[in-house]
Amino acid sequence: MTKSKGKYSTIHYQKYLELQKILGAQQLRSAELEVPAHEEMLFIITHQVYELWFKQILHELKSVIILFKDNKVDERNIGVAVSRLNRVEEVMKLLVEQIGVMETMTPLDFLDFRAYLFPASGFQSFQFRAIECMLGLPDEQRMTYHNTKYSSVFPEEQQKVLEGIYTDGTLYDLIQQWLERTPFLKLKNFDFVSVYSQAVKGMLTQEMTSIQESDYLSEKEKEMRSKMVGGTDSYFQSVLDKDAHKAMVQNGQKRLSYEATLAALFINLYRDEPILHLPFQLLTSLINIDDLMTTWRYRHAQMVLRMLGNKIGTGGSSGHDYLAKTAKTHQIFTDFHNISTLLIPRSALPVLPEEIKKQLSFQFSN
């Protein structure tokens, strides 16, 4: 039903969903050229459905970005953001599953109409590029398209829209700023970095002792395992030494700021504290979305390999090779994944002072 001038008026199902437009939008080129290919209908509908879901993903991401735009994020909005990002996750699962539907078409079936697609290509999906931009995939991390900028395949107006996404602030940018503002690192009478450093040293010492005192390992195995354990001068240095972290950012090993990294680590370590439940879910959702994007790229690459082998893609790319490489290089929230490297067992976790535990808990009074 639609609302008009304070009154409700009826509307037909088909009109509300504009089914005439949607169901009339499958124009088979093979039929137009009088060489009909049965499988082209599946190909068109699958890609149209992708674009519809891309539109929904953009709708959700835009709303989450708005929630994080202000310098002070209303904590009530964290739950809303988590809910909407969870929806993005579910949609992306559908995108991955949809590849299985496409694969019911055989390579020979695809060849019946492939020649009619040139030069149309998935590279020309503006909405998918907008999703990448909105999530925060940096330009310098992208693989080039025929040695030109990824956006070169779009009209100037759409190129400006993509540039504007970065100017206005991506989800990555806003989440980083939110983490940098979190109060967890400035808690009274609790120096997180100091107590974490002591816990790490204790954990590593215990692991090294266990290795050296083992009756089952040879000397060579002990040496190998000791190197694997490392020390505070290894990957833990990125949070124990601010300058070391800065150097890693400068040489491209890290992207997330030092303060944001500490906040994300604190949230992961103390996730069981009531106030940290939603922040932890938020960071987990971003990791899940990144994983699903990677899975979708990889499955897409494997489908292309299955359909085309080593043939050049319709857009002129190397096809499978290009798509497979993007699965490795176009990850966005890698630094959130790598927080796992810095985790320590709950048994080694520094105990929070009672005053701070109260700050991280829900407060009730009579």
Predicted local distance difference test score (pLDDT) of residue 147: 75
Instruction: Give the span between the Cα atoms of 354 and 316, in whole angstroms.
Output: 62
Which of 164, 132, 170 has its CA nearest to residue 150? 132
3-state secondary structure 94-142: HHHHHHHHHCCCCHHHHHCCHHHCCCCCHHHCHHHHHHHHHHCCCHHHC
Predicted local distance difference test score (pLDDT) of residue 219: 86
Distances in Å between the alpha carbon of 230 and those of 3, 71, 192, 223, 263?
A: 66, 39, 22, 11, 24
- Mean pLDDT per 10-residue interval, the chain, length 366 residues: 64 94 95 93 96 98 94 85 98 96 94 86 90 94 79 92 96 96 75 90 86 86 78 74 91 93 95 94 98 94 86 59 86 94 90 86 64
Predicted local distance difference test score (pLDDT) of residue 184: 67
Helices (H) and strands (E) in the chain, counts: 18, 2
CATH architecture of 38-359: Up-down Bundle (1.20)
Predicted local distance difference test score (pLDDT) of residue 6: 59
**146 SS3 class:** coil
Instruction: Give the span between the Cα atoms of 108 and 46, in whole angstroms.
Output: 18
Predicted local distance difference test score (pLDDT) of residue 312: 61
Predicted local distance difference test score (pLDDT) of residue 182: 82
Whole-model pTM over 0.85: yes
Instruction: Give the span between the Cα atoms of 186 and 353, in whole angstroms.
Output: 14
